[in-house]
Amino acid sequence: MRKKEETVQYSLFFIQRFKGKVLFNVPMSEYTSFKIGGPADVMAFPQDEGDLKDLIAFAEAKGFPFYILGGGTNLLVRDGGFRGIVINMSEGFKDIAWQEETKAIVGAGVKLSEVLSQCRERGLGGFEFASGIPGTVGGAVLMNAGAYGGEMREVVEGVEVLGKKGQKGFIPRSELGFAYRKAEVPKGAVVVRAHMTFTKITTDAVKEKIKEFKDRRKTTSHIAYPNAGSIFKNPENGFAGRLIEELGLKGERAGDAQVSEVHGNYIVNLGNARAKDVLSLMALVRDRVYRERGVVLEPEIKVIGEDL
């Protein structure tokens, strides 16, 4: 934890102004799909834009770092935890407002599965690639989540953001700098809603496409241990998992972290893995792939926090 006077400042702010839930000294292992991570000083759950605006203003005024947490599904938190405020968007910003037959404004805290469910009910296509992808809309936009040839940039027309000093803004798709597994928003800006457009087809066609993708995901669906999804980005003209498997690295371990025996691009937590174990295993895999195949694998997961 931070020193006592800073903890007092945190407490006074949240008691006086904040409407949402607040937790102190929170194990991040409870809020990531990896089930790994040391404590965050503070975790706050803003209920609306007012909460979020006040929270960001407070953090900036005091010089406290903050991190925006979505579903925690693409994240590794180091064993020393996070010194600052984790802003958890999972309990607010869960609105979906349909503007036209094919257009919706979707809160950053809405799960991808909920958007897909509503698309299925309305006979809207273009989002079927999200079938089986965990996480929330805000996080999916920032990493341009995708699968099987589809990506968020294909359905996102733009995003509403809350920036420094609480100013609201809208960033159109043309300015989001979408690329493979990333998007760009101004530093310090928080995505609060995404404007999304889908394609009118039929309910049966959507269901058929979803089933197709679910069938293709059967391999990774058999991964029973906690994980963060794909660890590395696919290199150009290739697949990270295939490279790792060809080098016989499935089953490789560091502590309780293991390269999945089911899929080479997954690292699983066998029960008591630490972040240092995962990072050590990632380094081993990257080194072997580079030495033997000349390919540099880039991490797809986000790593935050401090070492012990």
State phi, psi for 157 to the nearest 5 degrees: -85, -20
Instruction: Tell me which amino acid residue 75 is.
Output: L
Greatest extent of the chain over all pairs of C-alpha atoms, in Å: 59
| Distance separating alpha carbons of residues 25 and 5, to the nearest angstrom | 15
CATH number for 4-88: choose from 3.30.365.10, 3.40.50.720, 3.40.50.300, 3.30.43.10: 3.30.43.10
Q: What is the pLDDT of residues 213-262, one digit of tens each?
A: 888 777 666 788 999 999 999 998 889 999 999 999 999 999 999 999 99
Task: Find tokens 């499935």 and name the residue.
Answer: 250
Q: Which two three-digit tokens encode residue 163?
A: 């920036």
| 4-88 and 96-216 in the same fold | no
- Residue 230 appears among annotated catalytic residues: yes
What pLDDT, in 10s, does the model give residues 174-221? Answer: 999 999 999 999 988 999 999 999 999 999 999 999 988 888 777 666
**Tokens 């295939």 — which residue?**
242
CATH number of 221-304: 3.90.78.10
Which tokens go with 287? Answer: 């080194």
**Which position among 181, 193, 274, 286 bears the catalytic label?**
181
CA dihedral 100, 104, 105, 108 (to 10 degrees): 170
Active-site option among 90, 230, 260, 274: 230
Q: What is the DSSP string of 20-62?
A: SEEEEEEEGGGSSTT----EEEEEEE--SHHHHHHHHHHHHHH
Residue type, 87: I
Q: How far apart are CA 101 and CA 292, in angstroms?
A: 52
- pLDDT digit string (tens) for 44-92? 999 999 899 988 888 888 888 999 998 899 999 999 999 999 999 988 8
Residue among 213, 131, 233, 140 nearest 178 (CA): 140
Q: Tell me, what's the pLDDT at 11?
A: 59
* Contact assessment for residue 106 and residue 196, using Cβ atoms and an 8 Å cutoff: yes
Residue 137 above 60 pLDDT? Answer: yes
Residue with tokens 């936009």: 141
Question: Residue 97 above 50 pLDDT?
Answer: yes
What distance lies between CA 270 and its chain's CA centroid?
Answer: 21
pLDDT, one tens digit per residue, over 33-47 is 999 999 999 999 999
Pair type for strands 302-304 and 75-77:
parallel
The pTM of this model reads: 0.88
Is 2 one of the annotated active-site residues of the chain? no
| CA-based nearest residue to 274, from 234, 240, 305, 241 | 305
* Lookup: tokens for 149: 């040839």
Residue extents of the structural domains in the chain: 4-88, 96-216, 221-304
Please state which CATH class domain 96-216 belongs to.
alpha beta
Q: pLDDT > 70: what percent of the chain?
A: 94
